[in-house]
Structure 1
Amino acid sequence: MKRRHVLQLAALTPAAAAQAQTAAWPTQPVRMVIPFAAGGPTDVVGRLLADRMSEFLPQRVVVENRTGSGVVIGTEVVAKSPKDGSVILYNTIAHAVLRALFPRLSFDPVGDFTPVALCGQIPMIMLVHPSLGVSNAQELIALLRANPGKYDYASSGNGGAVHLATELLWHQAGGLRVNHVPYRGSSQAMADVLSGRIPIIMDVAAGAVPYLQRGELRAIGISDMQRNPAAPSVPTFNEQGVTGFVAYTWHMVLVPAGTPEPIVTAMNAAINRALNLPGVKERLQELTMTVVSDSTPASAKAFLDAEIAKWEPIIRSANITAN
């Protein structure tokens, strides 16, 4: 091995370094495929991780944005890539719902991938326009229950994290009937909420906080079991009586199924080391992400399996489609 590679492997855990030395690492830079547009929130976090992972792997990690059909195109690229660690996937909750939203995929989102590490979870905040006249979850639920089908809520698109989380909330609040108005992106949806045309929206916490700070919208609750340091005044739905309501968008690294275990193990160690570097965790927490820096391939798989089991019934019951 080159001296640079030896130094990088020495930075891993001893077990991971020992396995990595026997693994057939690719000779070219590792491609991290992000199936989201460059400059978006997922891309920002993925690029930060890719840059810092490179300090602990034999090859540099470079980002490649492959968008299209939601996350289908980019995910398919990785599913059909060599099983040698040369191409990895950086995906979100979108991976857990691919099978339910796209039943005719040319690949299996479960069987064709091996989870490497869960990197973090980002909760969501429900916002309402002040004209709606409600200030907390119980007031909103009471209003919607008394007026089934009267009110609309916006989302950034069918089948996205905020759409799924909102439908889960309505379900757990007793089966509320609220009309879904999907948009092509969060900025368009938020514009109509700010104008009062659509009174309700769920957004990722990082996106919601600026509207709260400016006093333009009211926060109803956050979809976590504890309050978020970036928005400490926003109560959880659990605090307000919607017991068990938890919903995140999350970030995970996956590789094609069949990738040698030593490569998976060493890559997992590099991810955890990167997430624990000074400044990295703090930066991600600024983006309202709860960092997971001790994930294993096994715990990541268990998490993904649980998310699939959680969201597929919601997708069926709410008749959610990708269109």
Structure 2
Amino acid sequence: MSLARRAFPLLALLPGIAAAQDTTVRVIVPYAPGGAIDAIGRLFAGRMGALLNETWVVENRSGGNGRIGAEAVARAAGDGRTLMFSADIHLVARQVMRDVPYDSIADFAPVARVAQGPLVLVGGPKVRAETLPALIAAMREAPQSFEFANSALGAMGHLATESFKARIGTPSVETVTYRGTAPALNDVLGGNVALMMAPLLSVLQHVQTGRLRAFGITAATRSSVAPTIPTLIEAGLPDFVFIVWYGFWGPRALPETVVARLNATAQRIAAEPDVARRLLDFGTEPVAESPGDFIAHIALEFARSSGIIRAANIQPE
């Protein structure tokens, strides 16, 4: 099923939003508890259930770099009772993993993108450079002396890393992939790996205490959470923007009326000031857009991500 088929205007269904009474909705998070995907998913699932007068239950089905949980959603009935909350990494499953039994686009109905946040290029104790130009010069001079820690194959940090290496002409710098942000970051903090493109919130405390040096964030403008950290654009890399984003998907057969109802609810929640404050605690900001806008965003992101993966010769594992 093409993306274009699901592009339709947002329906004003909020007055009848509690039409489905006594409904239990499973929200499958295809990653372990404790990370940003899980935390943001639980924030929205709790609000969605309350607003719709339904019981929304978050179920963590981790494993396979998100594959196990996503497959469960792809095979679920399109009755609105099974949804997935995940991030941009969902789009590139087949490009970075072998034998993926679903199509990340054709087998899912995009429901709502609800939050987004930047990455930060950080260096640990191995890195002596203090500015981005100095870092780039050092990497060009001795690429074998640097490595990038990567939280997961196909994650936005991975794509930003490979794009950065290509941009500055150091494709031979090694990328070391871990199972999650925490172990990757620990090796950077411990001086075992030099650099990382990491989510803002995960590194902010370490930047503030001086354990990590921030060379810039991957957004078009500075973050209100860390206004003293320049963008990488300001630091000398024009148009270098990579934003991690989070959203809801349903099975392919999810009716468009259900998608519209859920999207309207998500938009309403994203506009609540206290939700914006909670998201800020995660280093993100709310996103409120129609299903059609989400579909268009997916198309652009998939094209860019696929191009980066091909150019970097990343092979499925």
TM-score (norm 1): 0.89
Instruction: Say if 1:144 and 1:177, in contact at 8 Å, map to a contact too.
Output: no
Once the two structures are superposed, the pairs formed by residues 1-323 of structure 1 within 5 Å of their partners are 15-17=12-14, 25=20, 28-102=23-97, 104-293=99-288, 295-321=289-315, 323=317
Question: Which residue of the partner structure matches residue 4 of structure 2?
Answer: none
CA distances 1:218-265 after superposition (whole Å, capped 9, x unpaired):
001100001111111111111122111111221011111221111111
1:94 aligned partner, one-letter code: I
1:73 aligned partner, one-letter code: I
1:318 aligned partner, one-letter code: A
Q: 1:19 to 1:174 in 2, by over 3 A?
A: farther
- RMSD of the alignment, in Å? 2.0
1:261, 1:58 → 2: CA distance? 20
2:69 aligned partner, one-letter code: G
Aligned-pair distance for 1:153?
Answer: 1.8
Aligned-pair distance for 1:322?
Answer: 5.0
Aligned-pair distance for 1:14?
Answer: 7.9
Aligned-pair distance for 1:213?
Answer: 1.4
Give percent identity, aligned residues only: 34
Q: 1:257 to 1:199 in 2, by over 3 A?
A: same
Identify unmatched segments of 5+ residues in structure 2. 1-9
Aligned-pair distance for 1:175?
Answer: 4.8
1:107, 1:184 → 2: CA distance? 22
What SS is found at the alignment partner of 1:37? coil
Instruction: Say if 1:123 and 1:205, in contact at 8 Å, map to a contact too.
Output: yes
Instruction: Say if 1:159 and 1:321, in contact at 8 Å, map to a contact too.
Output: no
2:180, 2:105 → 1: CA distance? 27
Aligned-pair distance for 1:36?
Answer: 0.9
Aligned-pair distance for 1:290?
Answer: 2.1
What SS is found at the alignment partner of 1:106? coil
Instruction: Say if 1:145 and 1:176, in contact at 8 Å, map to a contact too.
Output: no
Identify unmatched segments of 5+ residues in structure 1. 1-12
Number of residue pairs matched? 308
2:194, 2:97 → 1: CA distance? 30
2:275, 2:15 → 1: CA distance? 26
What SS is found at the alignment partner of 1:192? helix
